Amino acid sequence: MTVRQEAPLASVDAVALLGALAQPTRLDIFRLLMRYRPHGLAAGDIGRLLAVAHNTLSSHLAALEQVGLLALRREGRHIIFAAQPGRADALLGFLANACCTQLPGGCAPRAASVPARRDPVDSDDPLRVLVVCTGNSARSIMAEAVLNREGMGRISAVSAGSRPQEAPHPLALGLLAELGYDTASMRSKSWDEFLQLGAPPLDLVITVCDDAAEASCPDFPGAPMRVHWGLEDPAAVAGPQAAQRAAFLQSYRNLTARVSAFVNLPFESMRLEELRPVLSAIGRMDGATEKTLFQAA
């Protein structure tokens, strides 16, 4: 396996990298692909996870590729975009001007080759996740959809509410459908369904709203671990349809950021005491509620 070290950046290169990242969507793309390193993602998956239109996405991907922050390769019918972390390391080294002398572990050389695009796995024992909010109509519904798709067979996710609505919010279902998710079987349901005799045991319960986290959480079968990823409720946003849709888009992006960080963990080989603080830290990513930010790690 060939290993190469990035050469020190010249000032003109550092300016180009900073300029490429000085745009919110491009920064989000690079952060997403850093979570999926080293294998990367197809353009369609990037657009879906960030809810960015294809024509807009193409120009941003080209800008990042031009400065060397992304590399692309073809795998069958797919064009895969992969982050080049060495370029980011070089930029950090340029800004710090002492990266590799003070923090040598952070500047280790990286493999230039990348594995093939990941394929779904047929696991006999996926991680069983229940996502909970109060109404089970927006945040938890979207999280269930993203976890099942991004988990690629390693995760089996369901969602429920402490006081469920009659049906999922139409803006949540509409957004998911636009982004290619199958919404036919999605419904709002009570967490009581997962307390009944014969209910499958759970490994992890994720609460995504503060009200559900503060509610008296029942003892689910399997005594699952519980973490809080509190986000503001997009369904609570009033005003014009455009403002409401924007709230759902932002909630979706906040959720996909957390899910993409989660699914790229080697959670199958992590002990409970290792996994819990990592999942709690993921919950404190951008968009977290105050309750999430100040809960114990």
Q: Which tokens hold the place of 89? A: 């390391």
Per-residue model confidence (pLDDT) at position 3? 40
pLDDT at 255 over 80: yes
Give 97's pLDDT tier (boundaries 50, 70, 90): low
Per-residue model confidence (pLDDT) at position 221? 85
Overall pTM surpassing 0.85 (yes/no): no
Per-residue model confidence (pLDDT) at position 103? 45
For residue range 61-85, what is the model confidence (pLDDT) as tens digits? 999 999 999 999 998 888 999 999 8
Do the domains 3-111 and 127-294 sit in the same CATH topology, yes or no?
A: no
Q: pLDDT higher for 128 or 122?
A: 128
Domains of the chain by residue range: 3-111, 127-294
209 carries an active-site annotation: yes
Give 109's pLDDT tier (boundaries 50, 70, 90): very low
pLDDT at 102 over 80: no
Selection from 116, 91, 118 nearest residue 106 by Cα:
91
pLDDT at 99 over 80: no
217 carries an active-site annotation: yes
Give 272's pLDDT tier (boundaries 50, 70, 90): confident
Distance CA(41)–CA(63), nearest Å, equals: 17
Question: What average pLDDT score do residues 103-124 get?
Answer: 55
CATH for the stretch 127-294: 3.40.50.2300
Per-residue model confidence (pLDDT) at position 226? 92
Distance CA(17)–CA(136), nearest Å, equals: 41
Catalytic residue among 99, 100, 107, 209: 209
Question: What average pLDDT score do residues 41-49 get?
Answer: 95
- Level-2 CATH architecture, domain 3-111: Orthogonal Bundle (1.10)
Per-residue model confidence (pLDDT) at position 114? 47
Catalytic residue among 99, 100, 107, 133: 133
Give 195's pLDDT tier (boundaries 50, 70, 90): very high
Catalytic residue among 99, 100, 107, 217: 217
Per-residue model confidence (pLDDT) at position 30? 95
